[in-house]
Amino acid sequence: MIVLSCHVMSCHVMSCHVCSIDRCSIERVVSGPGIRRLYEFLCKQNPKQVSAAVTEALRVAEDQKEDQSAVIARFALADEPDDLCLQTLNTFISSYGAEAGNMALKTIPYGGMYIAGGIGPKVCLISPHRPTADLITRC
């Protein structure tokens, strides 16, 4: 479990570093806006891999007050996925699964554990590029 905790911790620390957030919590990464934060971090780490098409789509989404995380997911799940978007989504899914596993260990839910909210069902649609079994087994 230490590996999972370190992975989750490093993800939210890097995310908070990008956004200059004073207080870091796992919710800053394992949430809809967390996808955008992770993408911004990866862009700063890999500036040569940043796609002009993704940058433009994110700008348009911001101008129209649309969800930028959905734009990143769309590019990650395209027939020819954008590398940074796909890496972002994979990191997000890994962190999501790790935190779900951590929560299960903290609460020991003998009757099972339900994952609620909007992200969970959407994550299950990612199976063409990453088997959701990875997420489920971490839970």
Average pLDDT over residues 80-98: 88
Structure tokens belonging to residue 56:
């433009």
Q: Residue 47 CA to chain centroid, in angstroms? A: 19
Q: What is the pLDDT of residue 51?
A: 96
Exposed, middle or buried, 135 (CB in 10 Å: 0-12/13-18/19+)? Answer: buried
Give the Cα separation of 10 and 16 in Å (integer).
10
From residue 64, give the alpha-carbon distance in Å to each of 23, 31, 40, 79.
28, 21, 19, 25
Read off the pLDDT band of 4 (50, 70, 90). Answer: very low
Contacts of 128 (CB under 8 A, 6+ apart): 77
Predicted local confidence at residue 10, as pLDDT: 58
Rounded distance between C-alpha atoms, residue 132 and residue 97, angstroms: 10
For 16, the domain range is: 2-138
Give the position of tokens 């069902």: 121
The confidence score (pLDDT) of residue 33 equals 87
How many independent structural domains does the chain possess?
1
Q: What type of residue sits at position 67?
A: D
